[in-house]
């Protein structure tokens, strides 16, 4: 039987489309069209230049403490990420050296690494998180959970350092960076290495907004232009390293100033909450609501917030736009369920990943199955391609 048809049958019977970890396709049921999926409320927008951030707050929160994040795992050496075919040297929690045997002896691969979770907690990975080292820097390709005690895992990744294929060590360290939305979209949704590279080099894949009546003189050119990125590559980042382009150059200094002002305004807007916590944000560039990240708890949001904020800022600085401000009614649309084509992948007893596509919108949800069911991360974006 055709897999698409089979997926539709099982989606209709059981509400999901995964059998034994295989992705099946079908129509996504939506019992509450247009209604928010979670117990969420939008605060007043935080606006600065061409970016508007709508804090998402909730009076309920899940316990996400059982989960380990990538930064925590790499920093403590409880998580090891290495090139395929390499013998990685790691240390136990008490400092003893251990050798992790070579895996996948076919040799190093641009789009696949090997990950070992040696911790006592399941590991949470988000698409767009950067790992630094090896033969070239990479980003995680998909949200997923790596269970405790699992065998070394072949990990799908994308390269964000086009011009290097050598390194003193085969291992990777915590970069504490999430790439900006144009790059992250191509990894999480597009799954296209060439588009990932294009987004790194150009800053953004979003098309400039068309002129609007009455605001012809209010157009703002991008503060990070493709030419400026090219100059940075030529002088400071010859291997096209994402980190060097966007953090250690004049481009990085511009981002630092922008982030500091955004953070100050965000702190003021979210101060004094009673009985609620910030669990996510909806982000708009100019008048276009483009992106949202929402988490199962305020603690999890706080862990990712600093690097998410920087990623949003890079995108804002790379997008030329008219100085409009997005409407809160448009931001609320980013809290609703979608109706559209659904793709589901799962690892039994560990996690369930699903993507729903409706027009230019893509919704990706990562649901933990153990220790109890919860949607750890919800990403909704307006695709640029």
Judge if 226 and 372 occupy the same domain. yes
Q: With contact defined as beta carbons under 8 Å apart, do 364 and 355 qualify?
A: yes
Q: Look at residue 271 and tell me whether its pLDDT is greater than 90.
A: yes
**According to the model, what pLDDT value does residue 25 have?**
34
84 φ/ψ angles, rounded to the nearest 5 degrees: -60, 145
**According to the model, what pLDDT value does residue 107 have?**
67
pTM above 0.75, yes or no: yes
Question: pLDDT band at 98, cuts 50/70/90?
Answer: low
pLDDT tens for residues 118-135?
A: 999 999 999 999 999 999
- Per-residue DSSP letters for 227-259? HHHHHHHHHT-TT-BHHHHHHSSHHHHHHHHHH
Candidate from 19-28, 47-56, 175-184, 316-325 with smallest mean pLDDT = 19-28
- Report which of 249, 342, 299 is spatially closest to residue 10, judged by C-alpha positions: 342
Residue that is written with structure tokens 């144009």 in the block: 182
Q: Give the span between the Cα atoms of 305 and 262, in whole angstroms.
A: 12
Judge if 136 and 77 occupy the same domain. yes
Judge if 54 and 89 occupy the same domain. no
Query: Structural domain tally of the chain?
Result: 2
Burial of 210 (0-12, 13-18, 19+ CB in 10 A): exposed
Judge if 15 and 143 occupy the same domain. no
Judge if 57 and 74 occupy the same domain. no
Q: Look at residue 210 and tell me whether its pLDDT is greater than 70.
A: no
What is the DSSP pairing of strand 68-69 with strand 123-125?
parallel
Judge if 222 and 311 occupy the same domain. yes
Question: pLDDT band at 216, cuts 50/70/90?
Answer: very low
Q: Which residues constitute the domain of residue 125? A: 68-178
Q: Look at residue 221 and tell me whether its pLDDT is greater than 90.
A: no
Distances (CA, A) of 118 to 92, 121, 146, 313, 370: 9, 9, 10, 34, 18
Question: pLDDT band at 228, cuts 50/70/90?
Answer: confident
Instruction: Determine the 3-state secondary structure of 278 from DSSP.
Output: strand
Judge if 373 and 323 occupy the same domain. yes
Mean pLDDT estimate for the chain? 84
Judge if 173 and 159 occupy the same domain. yes
Distances (CA, A) of 264 to 77, 202, 309, 332: 33, 28, 12, 24
Judge if 98 and 135 occupy the same domain. yes
Candidate from 3-7, 40-44, 89-93, 144-148 with smallest mean pLDDT = 3-7
């Amino acid at each position: 039987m055709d897999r698409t048809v089979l997926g539709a049958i099982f989606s209709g019977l059981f509400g999901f489309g995964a059998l034994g970890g295989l992705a099946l396709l079908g129509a996504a049921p939506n019992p509450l069209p247009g209604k928010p999926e979670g117990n969420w409320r939008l605060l007043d927008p935080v606006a600065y230049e061409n970016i508007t951030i709508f804090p998402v707050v909730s009076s309920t929160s899940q316990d996400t403490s059982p989960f380990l994040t990538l930064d925590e795992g790499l920093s403590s050496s409880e998580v090891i990420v290495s090139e395929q075919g390499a013998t990685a040297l790691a240390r136990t929690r008490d400092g003893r050296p251990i050798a992790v045997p070579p895996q996948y002896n076919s040799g190093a691969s641009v789009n696949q690494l090997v990950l070992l979770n040696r911790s006592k907690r399941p590991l949470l990975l988000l698409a767009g998180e950067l790992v630094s080292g090896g033969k070239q820097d990479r980003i995680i390709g998909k949200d997923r959970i790596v269970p405790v005690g699992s065998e070394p895992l072949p990990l799908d990744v994308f390269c964000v350092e086009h011009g290097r294929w050598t390194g003193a060590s085969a291992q990777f360290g915590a970069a504490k960076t999430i790439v900006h939305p144009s790059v992250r979209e191509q990894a999480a949704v597009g799954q296209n290495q060439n588009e990932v590279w294009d987004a790194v080099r150009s800053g953004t894949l979003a098309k400039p907004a068309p002129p609007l009546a009455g605001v012809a003189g209010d157009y703002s050119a991008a503060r990070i232009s493709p030419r400026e990125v090219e100059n940075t590559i030529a002088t400071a980042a010859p291997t096209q390293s994402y980190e060097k382009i966007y953090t250690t150059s004049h481009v990085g200094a511009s981002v630092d100033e922008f982030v500091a002002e955004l953070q100050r305004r965000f702190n003021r807007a979210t101060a004094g909450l009673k009985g609620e916590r910030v669990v996510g944000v909806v982000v708009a560039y100019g008048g276009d609501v483009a992106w949202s990240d929402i988490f199962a708890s305020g603690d999890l949001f706080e862990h990712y917030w600093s690097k998410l904020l920087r990623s949003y800022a890079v995108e804002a600085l790379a997008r030329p736009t008219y100085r409009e401000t997005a409407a809160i009614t448009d931001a609320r649309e980013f809290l609703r369920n979608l109706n559209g084509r659904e793709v589901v992948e799962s690892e039994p007893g560990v996690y369930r990943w699903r993507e729903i596509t409706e027009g230019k919108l893509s919704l990706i949800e990562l649901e933990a199955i153990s220790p109890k069911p919860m949607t750890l991360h919800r990403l909704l974006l307006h695709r640029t391609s």
